[in-house]
């Protein structure tokens, strides 16, 4: 049986399970979440990498966590250090992904982390909304790494998005053709009225042909909004993922559990498969119904007599 092919440029959707720091600093939980994401139908399992002492000011590092209930340390810096997995652990997680047939990826927040994750040569690296104006870090990804770079545009002005695309256009070779731009609203969780999905339409109008493609990074509740994103051209769909939304941490509440991720993957696949035109006016599956139900087909003589 031939593989399905949608019309009008609709590509098969890809789902990124953003595990981030939902592993709570525990390697075995990180590994388990990858397996759960694969079983749910995700394309990619993604983490985050930060060097807290490079990323934070001394004041930020030594301050208390803004929500002490979710803190894993006495200070925000200690909290961030606790949640970090080292490069060797990321290498082992990448190996686990290879073993189960899942793509490994990671968001990077600073130059050191970008170099560390780039050394693993994953198929894609993410630049989250907080870091999309960090040019030293992006220069590493542009000039020292050859995989795809996915960039979110939450809490970013349109002029700043233009700077991002221009920066990648200035790279050597096909640098801009490695970029996927994401519509995103930075909030946890985001009310539906603040998702602002039509911003995705604006991204496509302005940057189609200047980047490789487009995605949607959602922090909303439920999964209906993601289908709208795909219909508007987001081939890549990223959602935070956890095993239990009641676990300790700030991202769990805005994450999908395995059942939710599985339904999202199912619904996105259905949306992809429906994006086609009729090959004939009457499809083969309609022919029998037409003969049985359509006026003028099941009683042609009566139809002729009553025709106007």
The verdict on residue 2 lying in a domain is no
Pair (34, 154) in one structural domain: yes
* pLDDT one-digit tens code per residue, 163-183: 999 999 999 989 999 999 999
Pair (306, 205) in one structural domain: no
The verdict on residue 38 lying in a domain is yes
The verdict on residue 73 lying in a domain is yes
Pair (268, 296) in one structural domain: no
Predicted TM-score (pTM) of the model is: 0.92
Domain count, the chain: 2
The verdict on residue 4 lying in a domain is no
Pair (291, 160) in one structural domain: no
Pair (155, 74) in one structural domain: yes
Per-residue pLDDT, 140:
98
Name every residue whose Cβ is closer than 8 Å to that of residue 249 and which is 6 or more positions away in sequence.
21, 22, 24, 70
Give the residue numbers spanning the domain of 288.
Answer: 279-308
Pair (303, 171) in one structural domain: no
Per-residue pLDDT, 2:
45
Pair (303, 165) in one structural domain: no
* pLDDT one-digit tens code per residue, 123-167: 999 999 999 999 999 999 999 999 999 999 999 999 999 999 999
95 has pLDDT over 50: yes
Pair (186, 294) in one structural domain: no
* pLDDT one-digit tens code per residue, 196-233: 999 999 999 999 999 999 999 999 999 999 999 999 99
Pair (149, 135) in one structural domain: yes
Pair (119, 94) in one structural domain: yes
């Amino acid at each position: 049986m031939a593989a399905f092919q949608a019309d009008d440029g609709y590509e098969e959707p890809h789902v990124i399970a953003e595990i981030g720091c939902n592993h709570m600093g525990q390697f075995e939980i990180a590994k388990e979440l990858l397996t759960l994401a694969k079983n749910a139908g995700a394309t990619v399992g993604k983490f985050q990498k930060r060097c807290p002492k490079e990323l934070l000011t001394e004041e930020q590092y030594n301050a208390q966590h803004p929500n002490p209930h979710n803190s894993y340390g006495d200070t925000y810096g200690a909290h961030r250090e606790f949640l970090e997995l080292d490069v060797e652990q990321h290498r082992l997680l990448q190996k686990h992904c290879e073993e189960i047939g899942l793509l490994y990826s990671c968001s990077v927040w600073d130059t050191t982390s970008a170099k560390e994750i780039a050394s693993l040569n994953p198929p894609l690296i993410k630049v989250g909304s907080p870091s999309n104006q960090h040019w030293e870090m992006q220069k590493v990804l542009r000039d020292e790494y050859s995989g795809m770079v996915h960039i979110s545009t939450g809490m970013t002005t349109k002029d700043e998005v233009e700077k991002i695309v221009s920066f990648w256009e200035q790279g050597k070779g096909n640098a801009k053709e490695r970029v996927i731009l994401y519509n995103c609203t930075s909030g946890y969780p985001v009310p539906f009225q603040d998702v602002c999905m039509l911003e995705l339409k604006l991204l496509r109008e302005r940057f189609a042909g200047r980047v490789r493609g487009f995605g949607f990074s959602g922090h909303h509740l439920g999964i209906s909004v993601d289908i709208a994103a795909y219909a508007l051209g987001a081939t890549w769909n990223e959602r935070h993922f956890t095993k239990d939304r009641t676990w300790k941490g700030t991202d769990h509440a805005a994450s999908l559990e395995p059942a939710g991720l599985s339904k999202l993957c199912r619904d996105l696949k259905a949306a992809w498969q429906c994006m086609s035109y009729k090959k004939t006016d009457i499809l083969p599956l309609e022919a029998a119904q037409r003969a049985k139900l359509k006026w003028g087909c099941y009683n042609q003589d009566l139809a002729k007599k009553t025709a106007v």
